[in-house]
Structure 1
Amino acid sequence: MPASHCSQCGAPITSSAENPRDSSTNVQVVPKTLARHLQLMSTNAPPETIELAFIRTVAEKTRVRLADLENQMVGLRERVQQLEDEHILLSRYHAQNQAIISPLRRMPPEVLGDIFSWTLPSVRDALERLRFDMSHSPWVLAQVCSRWRAVALSTPSLWSLVVIDYRGKRANPLSMVKKQIERAQSLKIRFYGREKGHPRAQFEMFQLLAEHSPRWEEVFIELTSDTVPLLASVRNLPSLRRLGIQWNVSDSQAGVESMDCFQAAPSLLDVSVYNEFSSISIPLPAHQLTRYDLDGPWEVHQTILKLAVNLVEAHIYVVFNDLPWPDSDEINLLLLRRLFISHSEILEYLMAPAIQELAYAVREDEGPDPLLLHLEAFVERSGCRLRRLCLVGKPTADTAVGILRRILSVSELGIITDDPNHGQDAPVNVLVSHLTVSPGSAALAPQLSKIYFGCRAEGCIDYALYLQMLQSRWDAGGRTLKAAALLVDSGPHPDPATLRGLGALRQEGLDFLVLMGEEAADELRCWIYDSSR
């Protein structure tokens, strides 16, 4: 009969028939004693005198076994600690040897510097951080090791972008800006002032930047009344290629009539001026501009356009226009390819044989006929083949349909709506219905290969209707449709069913882009050739 074991110490226990007396303890072990032992362990009853000797023996054996186990465990812990310490030391040694043979250590400095450039923050990222931070690129690159520091400090382009924003609660330390300017060669500056905040700090910071104006390559400035005189006094701008100016609030323009510091900038090619509150005269070297973006009276635009023989792209927004439109005076823009206009009347003055893309801000007080007539006459007069048309604001279906039927060269259509109407009768949804191909009927503008829709402000389209339109044109014979986009700046996002349907079209081969939020807003500005930030 096999022996049983004690639940406490693991010692073998035999019945009284096999071993009536324990030779080591001289204690009789009987079934009655074992049962009693179990009862005592599960209750608070006191043991009898005769039972104490047996229980003490069990307890002593258990103590001895526990002591033995504890000794073994101490030894194991010491061994484990030794192994862990050895693992740590060996891992470090291995990493050091791996670092020695790493291709990164043998990488040429110019390649390493190019890799560093991909770590730089965008303007938006820099604005979100609010101030310089040693834990962000490019500052952190100079803290890794001596080689990285040498490469970072010898690559001036890493330090070119200087973003300073006083519209938030924190500002960049002047000392760090000085250090960055020292390390840079050319400067790409974004300076956002605040009319009622930190006037002394803003003045000192902009004064520092102005001292290095010969190295300005790109400058975008949000001006205040305190920084206007500093900018106006700048005269040495040999490297400036791109300029952007806007005003913080209307008070920032108080007493400012003109700024003539940019007229002699010999390298200036790209200019954006957002007056917004009132028109400020800013003479420009129009003859060398390849792009300009300005809001102002038609008279100002006309002056620039007559001289801008190298213009390739323009964003023409007519405001502060108290005078009636003057008699037509044809302006030849032989190199112009991309154009945004706020009024269809602008087309009466232009002749642009190379133009391919046109964006137009539809006004609520304007019917479809003026745009169609002006555009048709412009295309005929210019002898151009207009490829892309983008209608912005509250475009009517009649406007878009009329153009698509009359100007057959248009193969790309963009619609940006800010109409708050969401129903089936909303103009944008009526247009979507017109673009939908019904079974057995001919498609409107079958030549369309790209259809882009964007929603901003509270404007949106019927997403289910939009998906149906794309599917119908995708399934139409010939598969003319090649690409589509849906950009939602703000307002309701597409529902999951629509997104699944759009995803299915993408899997079938349609080049489809969907963007939301700030990314959508950035892309929408590109559609209308607006470089505002």
Structure 2
Amino acid sequence: MSTNANSCPQCGYSLRHHAPPALPCDNSRIEQLLATNEYPNQKEELAFRTFVANAPCAISHFDDRIASLKAELLKVEAEKANFTSVFPKYQKPLNPVRRIPPEILQLIFKYGTGYDKPAKEYFESISHSLDVHFPLLVYGRVCHYWRNLIALGMPKLWTRIKLQLDRPMPTQRVPHASSLLSIYLRRSQKHPLTICLDIPRFKSMDFGTGFLVREFFKESARWKSLFVSGGDELDNIIAMSELSYDSLESVHIRRIDAHSVSLHHHCLPKLTTWTSILDGPSAGNGCLPLAFLEITDYTISGVWNCNVVKFVQHLRCLRTLSIQSVVLDVSSLSKVPDFKLTVLKELHIRQDLDNDCNNAAIAALLDSISCPALTTLSLFASEKLVKPLQQFEERSNFKLERFVGSEHAGIFVKAFRNRDALETMQVEGSYTTPATQDVLANLYISSQSTVFTSTNTKTPFPFTFPSPSLDKPIVKFPNLRRLQSNMCDLESVDAFMDRAYSNLCARENVENVVPLELVITTSDEKAQKMLQSPNMKKFADLKVTMKIIGV
């Protein structure tokens, strides 16, 4: 079959050589002939005979063309299928994630695994490290590049290990758990470890957990921080003479008799932090081995007020003391020793606001000590502690640089006498809006200005009525540089901004005032309204920098 320039390159079809015979164009005449026995005329007969004679060849040619086109279609479909399968293979190497620099990937791994959080918060957010679904292990299964990066290039990510051993472990799971534990220990290389152990409290460990713990304790020489909760079974393991704790710097014990942790039998050259969160006063006789004289950071909870003094009097290097849920020992009220913590810098007290007995315990504790070097005070307690606080301040003659308070922060701020050194105030808790406004109202006073605090619960803000007098206001905290508040309870943005500006107006008439930064954290919606408030421009004239953070 010859072809020319007008032929199909695939099947050779040409309109010139392969055109089918023309169909008669007068369909009405054909219908008439088919409906009758009339014979076609000579011209019609010639056309019909020519068409009928050529039709079989044309039909055959149509069949050939159809077969050829079907074959071509199958070929095109096969090429399309091949192209479709190859397309994603070429697309994957161009994925932007492949171009993420290793240092950015390391940040993703760090934040994705929660390693950016403090160790205590990190361990509270996870249940167990030995879980194949744990992010740290999941990232390593994405690809070889990620695995090498996270397994070999980020050893510190593998230094936090939590073992939840208060659940029975079937024997068949021991090899799997042991394998995962060895991955952590191997990939952490030689870096110090931060450990969290949940030990059975009222029962002995089964074979599986006991085996796992003993394997784990072989690395005790690398332990930097130890978080423990559980029962006495831990003492049988941690007291083994062959164990070493040369790198241990901090111990945090929760819901356990601290005396049962026999660390005082070992040499602990680096231990500086001890935390005991106890169930109650019955566990308060030996919460700290007295051999730990180099402790600088001590947290204690659930003990009698007299025992706090009993423990801390042995800690001559103590710089930070945190007290929680202290219980009143009535017999100690008649004994008021004045023990001086000469190097204590930070004192943190958190007590139930509604428990008069517990607040009396804090009052008795404050009456028993003096802290002349104190620079930071965090006080979450009832306003009934105002008088004991004043006496404590007068006896200690400390000069605070930072104060953190809760809903009664304004009352305590008003009670301070040594105010010149205070640079930072922070208000936290549930009712921070009235507390913050209370603090603002007590930053300045004028001889002819009166500050009233509304007792109306719907309007819990103090109102300042400026005096027409030209007398300069008295600056109560001349070096205050930062006031920070997390105002989760803020209802009316306009009311707060107006009253905050009213309280700070006194700065206009004060010479050499220290610039103040007011940091407010609230919801995104309230933050936007604050930023749009007309008072924002006015604060700048008062040398007040407003920093609004939406969450």
Q: Considering the TM-score relative to the shorter chain, is it more than 0.5?
A: yes
Matched residue count:
439
Sort the Cα spacing of 1:512 and 1:347 in 2 relative to 1 into closer, same or farther, 3 A. farther
| Alpha-carbon separation, structure 1, partners of 2:531 and 2:486 | 18
Correspondence 1:58-457 to 2 at 5 A: 74=74, 76-84=76-84, 87=87, 120-122=113-115, 127-128=125-126, 130-134=128-132, 136=134, 138-140=136-138, 144-145=143-144, 149=148, 152-153=151-152, 156-166=155-165, 173-184=177-188, 185=190, 186-195=192-201, 199-200=205-206, 201-233=208-240, 236-247=244-255, 259-262=261-264, 264-277=267-280, 278-281=283-286, 282-295=288-301, 296-317=303-324, 318-319=326-327, 321-325=329-333, 326-334=335-343, 336-341=344-349, 343-363=362-382, 366=384, 368-378=386-396, 381-382=397-398, 384=399, 386-392=400-406, 395=408, 397-403=410-416, 407-418=419-430, 433-434=461-462, 445=476, 447=478, 448-454=480-486
Structure 1 segments (4+ residues) deviating >6 Å: 63-72, 102-105, 111-116, 167-172, 419-432, 505-508
The answer for the alignment partner of 2:443 in structure 1 is: none
Sort the Cα spacing of 1:467 and 1:118 in 2 relative to 1 into closer, same or farther, 3 A. same
Paired letter, 1:121: G
Deviations 1:75-129 (A, max 9, x none): 543443454455456557x669x98xx8969x9xxx9989966664335566436
SS of the equivalent of 1:262 reads: helix
Deviations 1:500-532 (A, max 9, x none): 2244479975234455xxxxxxxxxxxxxxxxx
| Alpha-carbon separation, structure 1, partners of 2:236 and 2:536 | 57
Deviations 1:129-166 (A, max 9, x none): 64434465543565543895498358643422111235
| Alpha-carbon separation, structure 2, partners of 1:503 and 1:414 | 21
Sort the Cα spacing of 1:514 and 1:114 in 2 relative to 1 into closer, same or farther, 3 A. closer
| Alpha-carbon separation, structure 1, partners of 2:285 and 2:133 | 41
Sort the Cα spacing of 1:420 and 1:499 in 2 relative to 1 into closer, same or farther, 3 A. closer
Deviations 1:405-433 (A, max 9, x none): 76343343233345799999998979972
Asked if the contact 1:396/1:431 (under 8 Å) is kept, the reply is no
Asked if the contact 2:320/2:345 (under 8 Å) is kept, the reply is yes
Paired letter, 1:308: L
TM-aligned CA deviation for residue 216 of structure 1: 1.6
TM-aligned CA deviation for residue 204 of structure 1: 3.8
Paired letter, 1:262: H
Deviations 1:204-248 (A, max 9, x none): 44333333322221100012243344345566321110110011x
Asked if the contact 1:163/1:189 (under 8 Å) is kept, the reply is yes
Asked if the contact 2:284/2:307 (under 8 Å) is kept, the reply is no
Query: TM-score, with normalisation over the residues of structure 2?
Result: 0.62
Asked if the contact 1:347/1:374 (under 8 Å) is kept, the reply is yes
| Alpha-carbon separation, structure 1, partners of 2:496 and 2:519 | 11
| Alpha-carbon separation, structure 1, partners of 2:372 and 2:314 | 17
Residue 24 (structure 2) aligned to one of 14, 23, 26: 26
Query: TM-score, with normalisation over the residues of structure 1?
Result: 0.64
| Alpha-carbon separation, structure 2, partners of 1:49 and 1:333 | 127
TM-aligned CA deviation for residue 347 of structure 1: 4.2
Asked if the contact 1:246/1:273 (under 8 Å) is kept, the reply is yes
TM-aligned CA deviation for residue 271 of structure 1: 1.1
Paired letter, 2:277: Y
Asked if the contact 2:420/2:477 (under 8 Å) is kept, the reply is no
TM-aligned CA deviation for residue 177 of structure 1: 1.7
The answer for the alignment partner of 1:498 in structure 2 is: 526
TM-aligned CA deviation for residue 196 of structure 1: 6.2
Asked if the contact 1:483/1:511 (under 8 Å) is kept, the reply is yes
| Alpha-carbon separation, structure 2, partners of 1:151 and 1:498 | 40
| Alpha-carbon separation, structure 2, partners of 1:49 and 1:67 | 37
Asked if the contact 1:221/1:246 (under 8 Å) is kept, the reply is yes
Specify the structure having the higher radius of gyration (Cα). Answer: 2
Paired letter, 2:413: A
Q: Which runs of 5+ in 2 are unaligned?
A: 1-19, 37-47, 49-54, 351-361, 438-452, 538-544
Asked if the contact 1:113/1:152 (under 8 Å) is kept, the reply is no
Paired letter, 1:175: S
